[in-house]
Amino acid sequence: MTTQNQTNTTTAANKISTYLMFIVLIVMGLAIVSIFSAVYAYTLGSVYEAGFMTIIGVFGLTLSAVVLYQNSKRSAAMKVEAPKVMTYIECKSCGTKTSREFQRGDFVFKELDVCPKCPEQKQMITGVYKEIKEKEKTYTI
Amino acid sequence: MTLIPTSDIIAQVTSNIPIISNRFGGGGGNDWTSYIGLFTWVFFIFILFYGQRLQMRVMMREVENNLHKLKFIKEEGCKTAIETLKEVGKSTEDISPRVDRCLDYFTIGPQGMDPAGIVSKLDHILDVRDQRIKDDVKRIAPQCDDVQLNNMENTLEAAMALNYIYKIVRHFYIQGKKTMSLYVIMQLQMILPLVMKEAEAYSAALKAFSLGQPIGDSVGPLIASKLMLGQEVRKVHKDCVVATVPFEGRTALVMKAEGPGGNCGKPGDAIETVIEENEGKIAMLIMIDAGLKLEGENVGEVAEGIGSAIGGPGVDAFKIEEKLVKYKIPINAVIIKEDIGDAVSPMRKEIHDAADKAIERVRELVLERTKEGDILIIFGVGNSIGIGQ
């Protein structure tokens, strides 16, 4: 289902532009030719020329690879990932604590079914939060 | 036709380079140094004429990449909003055109040439806006109950914010491209990291609102709920609740926006009402809210200060301050530090755990600055989404 605001779909965002791909392919082609020329020059005994062509070839190939890598990373980064939110349930009578994945309709201090250990006491949601496992980058000064 | 090897052509061309290179100050050394000299000159001349243009291309490429990302985030947001509205509202008709219309809503602030009375004008405009969005959500999702209605209103507002951010960035990008102005693009590129951070925060908020999960900003209501747990709660104008809680030998009137739907209430009106009900005999007002942290500070740090800890356009802060001045009531604030991303995305464990620390701080404050038998107000400011009472 698309809305009027959605008519321009995300395909443009997800793939590498044709223009960029064209440039990358040309640079890559020239770089390969350059490396072959370097080998040919070396067999003819022109060491300087061979070195020069090798540098150009390697530089061209690296540049193309970096551009392709950066673009694929950009495509991969374009995902909106929802964090895993947990619901923490507690029985005030016996102190039993359990947790499960959040379900629509959960809210803090919502009373749930009776506790399996103490039948007259209802369980309560005491927390709904996410835990971030990876450490944030710190900048010490 | 005989084919000449590429290396021969290159060798022929490059053999002339030392001569040209020497003219440009190559130094007359060996071939290798001459090449470097020549290329340095060529590079220098190229940068001299095309440096700024090159820099602009790099910047525009960066802006373009981020614009693609913004578009993706916005579209995902719209999709989530529509899917949730359809699911919750059980609507059978196509709601996309209605949602699209809502996404382009705008609010024009009151005229400020004569600032006298501007607060009530702004208050009125915000009320009308709020009611308008609520009515539209009701029309789009007729089966919504009150809690879901508030959540859907928040979801739609987050989608509107994402749509607006995308349109503004796109506007300046196209303007920069049209005028080929380095300075337009440069300004946009400079603020982009902050804009992207905000957009990502709204995207996380939208998901949380659609599911009804507590967000970082809900820490104020969470603290108030913890204090009022087990006590009788009554409604107070507008969309707020109050409970009378015995607290360290004092009477605390603990207040928050009504939950668990996404709702900030109108703390200004609610505090005004409660102060008037008690004829101004309030020993202290304590406001608890989420506060923006500076880089380098930890999420969930608790800090204490003076003043009305409340965000928004300032209408509520104005009303509260007016009443406090009238009855000479001291005001204290306790804030839980978090950044903008944490404030609007699902609540983090550190923020949840900070609630108990903040209650301890409030306890110390009450013991130090009020007498036994005093009446005080404790207001947990913020969005009550996912927080009951």
Report ipTM (2 d.p.): 0.78
Q: Which two tokens stand for residue B311?
A: 């965000």
Beta strands in B154-239 (DSSP E): 233-236
Is B212–A106 a contact, with Cβ atoms under 8 angstroms apart?
yes
B39 has pLDDT over 80: no
The model's pTM: 0.78
| B214 in reach of chain A (CB within 8 A) | yes
Q: According to the model, what pLDDT value does residue B227 have?
A: 93
CATH architecture for segment(s) B216-380: 3-Layer(aba) Sandwich (3.40)
Is A109–B68 a contact, with Cβ atoms under 8 angstroms apart?
no
Is A130–B348 a contact, with Cβ atoms under 8 angstroms apart?
yes
Q: According to the model, what pLDDT value does residue B171 have?
A: 94
**β-pair partners for A124:** A90, A111
Q: How many interchain CB pairs under 8 A, A with B? A: 131
Q: According to the model, what pLDDT value does residue A75 have?
A: 59
Cα A17 from Cα B170, distance rounded (Å): 18
Contacts of B389 in chain A (CB under 8 A): 109
Is A1–B96 a contact, with Cβ atoms under 8 angstroms apart?
yes
Q: Which helix (H) or strand (E) holds A113?
A: strand A111-114
Per-residue confidence band for A1, with pLDDT thresholds at 50, 70 and 90: very low
Domain residue ranges in chain B: 54-211, 216-380
Q: According to the model, what pLDDT value does residue B14 have?
A: 57
Cα A71 from Cα A66, distance rounded (Å): 9
Is B388–A108 a contact, with Cβ atoms under 8 angstroms apart?
yes
Per-residue confidence band for A6, with pLDDT thresholds at 50, 70 and 90: very low
B254 has pLDDT over 60: yes
Burial of B270 (0-12, 13-18, 19+ CB in 10 A): buried
Contacts of A10 in chain B (CB under 8 A): 71-72, 75
Closest CA to B99 of B108, B87, B86: B86
CB B256 within 8 A of CB B240: yes
Percent of chain B with pLDDT over 70: 91
| Number of C-beta neighbours around residue B106 at 10 A | 7
Q: What secondary structure letter does DSSP report for B200?
A: H
Chain B residues 157-176 with CB within 8 Å of chain A: 163
Domain residue ranges in chain A: 13-77, 85-130
| A27 in reach of chain B (CB within 8 A) | no
Smallest Cα distance from A117 to chain B, Å: 22
Mean pLDDT of B163-169: 94
Smallest Cα distance from A116 to chain B, Å: 22
Average pLDDT, chain A: 78
Please state the separation of Cα A43 from the chain's center in Å: 46
A138 has pLDDT over 90: no
3-state secondary structure of A88: strand
Closest CA to B358 of B189, B165, B223: B223
Chain B residues 108-147 with CB within 8 Å of chain A: none
**Residues composing chain A:** 141
Residue of B nearest to A40 (CA): B7
Burial of B188 (0-12, 13-18, 19+ CB in 10 A): buried
Per-residue confidence band for A12, with pLDDT thresholds at 50, 70 and 90: very low
Q: Of B216 and B389, which is predicted with more confidence? A: B216
CB B80 within 8 A of CB B204: no
- What's the sign of the alpha-carbon dihedral B162, B164, B169, B173? positive
Q: Which two tokens stand for residue A114?
A: 């009776």
**β-pair partners for B242:** B234, B255
Closest CA to A47 of A57, A58, A39: A39
Beta strands in chain B (DSSP E): 233-236, 240-247, 250-257, 284-292, 302-306, 331-338, 375-380
Q: According to the model, what pLDDT value does residue A5 have?
A: 40
